[in-house]
Amino acid sequence: MRLLILTATALFASPALAHDGTHLHPHGLETGYFILLAAIAVVVAAYVVRR
């Protein structure tokens, strides 16, 4: 559950980190969609590991 909350927080905070709304330079990610896909992958992996 903590991981899910952390992931959701990162998703909501990520647009604020981008200077133009599409580039997240600190992490080298070009669009928010990569963040979304990465977050989904992390949540799914955490679910599988906990099972």
Please count the structural domains in the chain: 1
Per-residue pLDDT at 1: 66
Entry pTM: 0.43
Give exposure, 31-51, as e/b (b: 16+ Cβ within 10 Å). Answer: ebeebeeebeeeeeeeeeeee
Domain that includes residue 36, residue range: 2-50
User: What are the two backbone dihedrals, phi and then psi, of residue 30, each rounded to the nearest 5 degrees?
Assistant: -85, -35
Per-residue pLDDT at 26: 54
Average pLDDT, 10 consecutive residues per value, the chain (51 residues) = 72 57 54 73 86 75
